[in-house]
Structure 1
Amino acid sequence: MRTIKIGGVPEHFNLAWYLTLKNGAYKEKGINLRWKDYFGGTGEMSKALRDGEIDMAVILTEGIIKDIIEGNPSKIVQTFVQSPLIWGIHVAHDSKYKSIEELKGSKAAISRYGSGSHLMAYINAENQGWDLEKDLDFEIIDDLNGAVDGLTKGKADYFMWEKFTTKPLVDNGSFRRVGNCPTPWPCFVIAVSDAFIKSDPEDIASILEIINTCTSGFKDIEQIDEIIAQRYDQKLEDVQEWLSLTEWSQQVIDDNAIDKIQDKLLMLDIISKKLPYDQLIHKI
């Protein structure tokens, strides 16, 4: 039985992976799939793919595109979540800032450079019409716990992270959300190292078949809203809202979407060049 290592954020988007692992679906195909949580998000997972620590990652679309362009020997094999990611823009509960507009020129907490929280700070700044050189400043805080510490102690002024994941910290008074910033493209993709594509394309196909079967019927799983609420410490009404906004995908991301994302990243000077579709995507 081949051991395959996969990484992702420990969030509700990835519950389908937990469910399929729990019921032994991969072992029936002769695959020992090992999941690893990456609390640091996209930047941490990109490094793990580069270093061969994992074979696959469920990762933010814009983040892995940037990292492949910068030399990560990996390819996107499929879209995982088709709908946009809604990034909440958060400040400390007692912060002087009351609106997104007031954050102009202040310091953003980011998990690391090249992470989703870093890239989306640029998207938000562009949406607000800010000067991308003068009005952005960053403080690295590693993860969500680091953000709580950083904002509370005044090391940074605001933090962007997925709205529903961060909602319990709004509810308990750690954060206050001043606005939202959705990604203008499908939010999560499945990326695979080039070495794994070369050595075991059949196993990749088997893994995708299993997870796609689960996600295609995910919303119909009995009491799925209650399961998510309990597992991820969410309010039931928040989970139900999230489910109504979220659409999984079983398809490869198309060239128009890839082109749009690269155009945006290039315009924001996040990437220095664009790559052809077939250098970013591998169809299994």
Structure 2
Amino acid sequence: MVLKVGWHREHFLSPLLQLHAAKGGFELVECPGGTGDMQAKLKAGEIDVCIALTDALIAGIANGQTSYKIVGRYISTPLRWAIITGKDSQYQDVSDLKGTKLGISRLGSGSQVMASVMALREKWSQADQPTFEVKGSFQPLRDSVNSGETSVFLWEWFTTKPYADSGEVRFIGSVYTPWPCWMIAASPAADADQVSQLLTALGEYTTEFDSKSKRESENVGYVAKTFGQREEDVKEWLGTVAWYHDLLAVERKVVTDTLEVLGQAGVVKRPSEGWDVDAFVDQRIAKVI
């Protein structure tokens, strides 16, 4: 059986695309709605594995999702989320967003989780908390801020930058994840040996992509061509991001620290007996360290 791997069209996934182009052996399933879309596809049995946002994956399990577990790590650095509004909107500063309606891709998605983290960072009161409107994917989110239907939405900085550069939308700030930003999840029904083999092979490609020599030349051209970004933006992004090389591990501290912030942001509720980190990880595949 061929593994179906969910992915989102972002430059972070370059090593996965390179592995697929060079060796194949698995099917890529694009998920335009990001992590929330991948979670829905895992639940529906439409994909077996995905590379997705740490916070949304962990929050999903903490809130009772059983359609996947964490099987590995991927990006070791934080993610910068742009706070994006319409080109002619009234919103000029993050403080203007209190009590407004924010666009999100899906319930439980990274776009919703990080909006809650933003509110926590800004120390907004309960009365100032934003509400959310589900828009599905990137295009409807951009449309919603320009129509005034929503105030802002949050999306990865460099993915959105070409749209800000062109004047379609505006950035009014950013927020960084307090955790390494991408992890790998798989359905409990997925073949453990197949998943392990995939992540071992992918680790070879993240190691190569993460190398100094690749960063200085080949990576820049590859990302610019594949994702339609300016080379100067790619170079800036490459200066901020790093990949894990051994993917078949999950750091206990990353999970507990993420849960702590998510709890403070009201995204998850800590059980009275505390969190059982081992229950978040499929230990047929990944070791907890």
| TM-score bucket (shorter structure) | over 0.9
Deviation string 1:247-266 (CA, Å, 9 cap, x unpaired) is 11124231111111112222
Deviation string 1:98-155 (CA, Å, 9 cap, x unpaired) is 1112222222111111111011000001101112453312222111100111011110
Aligned to 1:182: 176
Equivalences for 1:242-257 in 2 at 5 Å?
242-249=237-244, 250-251=246-247, 252-257=249-254
2:230 counterpart of 1:235: yes
Tell me which of 51, 54, 76 is aligned to 2:47: 54
- Taking the aligned partners of 1:263 and 1:107, their CA distance within structure 2 comes to 26
- How big is the shift at 1:87? 0.1
Number of aligned positions between the proteins:
274
Aligned with 1:45: secondary structure? helix
**Cα pair 2:97 2:130 within 8 Å, conserved:** no
**Cα pair 1:40 1:111 within 8 Å, conserved:** yes
Gaps of 5+ in 2: none
- Taking the aligned partners of 2:43 and 2:61, their CA distance within structure 1 comes to 10
Equivalences for 1:198-277 in 2 at 5 Å?
200-219=191-210, 220-221=213-214, 222-249=217-244, 250-251=246-247, 252-273=249-270, 275-277=275-277
Tell me which of 106, 109, 112 is aligned to 1:112: 106
Identity %: 31
Give the letter for the 1:9 counterpart.
H
- How big is the shift at 1:214? 0.5
- Taking the aligned partners of 2:267 and 2:11, their CA distance within structure 1 comes to 28
- Any runs of at least 4 consecutive aligned residues in structure 1 with deviations exceeding 3 A, and if so which? 219-222
Aligned to 1:76: 70
Deviation string 1:36-55 (CA, Å, 9 cap, x unpaired) is 11110111111111121111
**Cα pair 2:120 2:264 within 8 Å, conserved:** no
Aligned to 2:20: 21
- Taking the aligned partners of 2:267 and 2:127, their CA distance within structure 1 comes to 12
Q: TM-score, normalised by structure 2?
A: 0.91
- Taking the aligned partners of 2:17 and 2:91, their CA distance within structure 1 comes to 38
Aligned to 1:145: 139
- How big is the shift at 1:211? 0.6
**Cα pair 2:98 2:128 within 8 Å, conserved:** no
Gaps of 5+ in 1: 27-31
CA RMSD of aligned residues (A): 1.4
